Structure 1
Amino acid sequence: MSQSKYQINILSGNPPLDDSYYNPDDAELAFYRSQTGITDDRALKDHAIEVQKEAYKVYAYPCIRRFAFMNLKISRLPAYSRFLSLGKEREGAIFLDIGCCFGNDVRKAIADGYPMKNCIASDLERDFWKLGHRLFNTTPETFPVPFIAGDAFNPDFLKPVPPFYSAPELPAPQLAQITSLTPLLGHISAIHASSFFHLFDEEQQLELARSLAGLLSPQPGSLIFGMHNGRREKGFRVEQGEPGQAGSYMFCHSPESWKELWDGEVFAKGTVRVEAELQETQRRDIHAAPGTKFYWMMWSVTRL
């Protein structure tokens, strides 16, 4: 998640927090018990609520209000098993979790075997990463994944370049020593970006896709993957009711338009395999007509 100057999905007033949105499933509870060391479910809920309150002060994202940071997003993506295999089989396969918020996805990947030494995380809000340490009861010493705060649209932080079709001339830098994403151009084996693209309009989503593509290694199997709000037909999400609600002017791609964007506009046609599918989701936080359907789009872009 990020709140760059390009963000368009702004709430008109912040709705109050509501504990009833706290509803982790059994797999999520097991993960958070193991990662936080808090085994009592009531204590875990109280702990999550306290962190949520602090995060909502930093920036009142709807996903903070809905406890989306408790969801296991990355591990439920179709490309996840290929991603884990890449991390285990490719020497030095750098993984970037961008728009990482509290870092729950990079922590899940590491728990499932992705080498911690090859991981790095980034978000606009440094305070979210700090709150992640609080949520998981860790410190930068006990969980030493490098974090870089910055705006992915800022060329001083991430220089926009065309995708690499051959190995970059410079070697990959030491992750703990960099202060921006630019030194990683052409070196990243896997990029995870969830609940990120839908913060921006159509033109900005293309700009962001091109910037992330410049980071990706040209080696076959390198991938960018994630999930965000989508529609059956691309366009602004107008299904909800009152203007000013979460996502009132959110631009959403369809699986077809998302594939066309990456295969031909961002990467040269035929040099990537793009997979995208819609998964229906419930959004009781959005006032809409009965029967209105909302969707997550789950996707991956893999270099051939």
Structure 2
Amino acid sequence: MTYYDGGTNLLPAHYLQALDESFYGLDAEEAAFYKQQTGIQDDAELKQHIMAVQAKAYSVFPYPCIRRFAFTQLKISRLFAYRGFLNLGKTRKSPIFLDIGCCFGNDIRKAVADGYPAECVIGSDLQKDFWNLGHELFRTTPETFPVPFVGGDAFNPEHLAVVPPFTPANQPTTPPPDLKSLTSLNPLRGHVSAIHASSFFHLFREDSQLHLARALAGLLSPEPGSMIFGSHASLPEKGLRVIRKDGDDKRSMFCHSPESWTELWDGVIFEKGEVKVEATLKLLQRPNILLGEDAAQTAHIMSYCITRL
């Protein structure tokens, strides 16, 4: 059995599929957002523009989420934690917001458009090419949209080292960094008010998800209300979800359940009672575009929020 493991365990060539414009479909809210952000008002022109950027991104790395236009969905603003996140941006002084696995930066741009202070925002991903394509997608430049980006491998300790979570009794001793000067995420330890991680954890094996959780927890501010939130593939009971089957060859994704996700954060990553964990599960009808006749046509998606108490 083989795992689908993000960019570290490459998909065999026969699993890769040509782009398919039938996956394109903006709802009214998404269309309005992209028209406002790009300045393109004609629906056909907007579609062609988005598809052109999609093709370039797919050549960087063929993530299934790029193939199915997941970057056009208003994912972050439809999370149950979003309103509290925006309120954090309005009420806290210098509320640093990190979007990890940010790809094009579409969730960042939605948050900024809805009022989160842009000067407090930073994006990070393995591939800077995606961030650069985000400027092309939204017709901006680093000057017109100056949110900084820090590229790097989240498993490289020089970029993101694991440290114990900070607590009210163990505050960070360094001042918050200048976000535009960052070359890694490590100077952010203990200073981040909100971390968004969607379609990120499920790219990795169970032990790698544990590592990532520990690493992100070390970035989070100990101030009550600080949060890690997002969504990813899940199951009613934790285990392996087969996402491709060809005879004896299976490709699987490890998925937490809401129960195991809660137990991980409240008691393993943080001391019991230091955080509140909320996790909801939804079953979506969605063809598995990693393909295979036996591929599931539904997907459980978990939305979650871990909040410091």
Whether TM-score is above 0.5 comes out as yes
Q: 1:111-150 residue pairs with structure 2 within 5 A?
A: 111-150=113-152
Does the CA contact (< 8 Å) of 1:4 and 1:153 recur in 2? no
CA distance in 1, matches of 2:39, 2:262: 41
Tell me what 2:260 maps to. 257
Q: 1:201 aligns with which of 169, 184, 205?
A: 205
Q: Once structures 1 and 2 are overlaid, which stretch shifts more, 167-176 or 235-244?
A: 235-244
Q: 1:154 to 1:4 in 2, by over 3 A?
A: farther
Tell me the TM-score normalised to structure 1 length.
0.94
Q: Structure 2: any 5+ residue segments left out of the alignment?
A: none
Tell me what 1:233 maps to. 237
| Superposition deviation, residue 232 in structure 1 | 0.7
Tell me what 1:174 maps to. 178
Q: 1:52 to 1:239 in 2, by over 3 A?
A: closer
Does the CA contact (< 8 Å) of 1:9 and 1:200 recur in 2? no
State the one-letter code of the partner of 1:157.
Answer: H
| Superposition deviation, residue 119 in structure 1 | 0.2
CA distance in 1, matches of 2:265, 2:32: 36
CA distance in 2, matches of 1:198, 1:11: 19
| Superposition deviation, residue 76 in structure 1 | 0.5
Q: 1:270 aligns with which of 254, 273, 297?
A: 273
Does the CA contact (< 8 Å) of 2:244 and 2:295 recur in 1? no
Q: Once structures 1 and 2 are overlaid, which stretch shifts more, 139-148 or 163-172?
A: 163-172
Q: 1:139 to 1:72 in 2, by over 3 A?
A: same
CA distance in 2, matches of 1:277, 1:11: 33
Tell me what 2:195 maps to. 191
Tell me what 1:162 maps to. 164
Tell me the TM-score normalised to structure 2 length.
0.93
Identity among equivalent positions (%) equals 58
Q: What's the C-alpha RMSD, in Å, of the aligned pairs?
A: 1.9
For the residue of structure 1 that corresponds to 2:230, the secondary structure is: strand
Matched residue pairs, number?
A: 300
- Cα deviation digits, residues 75-131 of structure 1 (max 9, x gap): 000000000000000010000000000000000000000000000000000000000
Tell me what 2:306 maps to. 301
Does the CA contact (< 8 Å) of 1:283 and 1:294 recur in 2? yes
Q: 2:93 aligns with which of 86, 91, 94?
A: 91
CA distance in 2, matches of 1:242, 1:38: 43
Does the CA contact (< 8 Å) of 1:51 and 1:135 recur in 2? yes
| Superposition deviation, residue 283 in structure 1 | 2.1
Q: 1:53 to 1:31 in 2, by over 3 A?
A: same
4+ aligned runs moved over 2 Å, structure 1: 2-5, 8-13, 238-245, 285-293
